[in-house]
Amino acid sequence: MHELTTNASKYGSLSVPEGRLEVRWTVERTGRGPALDLRWSERGGPAPKRGRRSGFGSRLIEMVIQRQLAGEVTRSFGPDGLSVRLVVPLTHERWPELAAEGDGAANRG
């Protein structure tokens, strides 16, 4: 979220007074269990410029969401602005030691 916000304030919809940002999220049931579905939509800012190669922040987002959290990242650069969809599984499969302890481990403070 920090990387997307920083880029929006420097280059995207939050860099101009008339720009808008909409962030929506839901938790959905999937075949792999519950997942966070976060949608980021920028509108009213400068036309997005898609570089020939991804910047460090974009690569970092993809690496963390896809590789570390087993999620999905979808980006599109439309005429209205940048849209991003992040889908992140909300399971303990990423942390086998927690899954082995059972659901009670998640409730300990």
Does the pTM exceed 0.85?
no
Which amino acid does the sequence have at 108? R
What radius of gyration do the chain's Cα atoms show? 17
Please state, as a whole number, how many other Cβ atoms lie within 10 Å of the Cβ of residue 20.
Answer: 14
- Domains along the sequence of the chain with CATH: 2-91 (3.30.565.10)
* Cβ contact 43:15 at 8 Å: no
Confidence (pLDDT) at 25: 97
Using one digit for the tens of pLDDT, what is the confidence trace for 66-107?
999 999 999 998 888 899 999 999 976 554 555 555 555 444
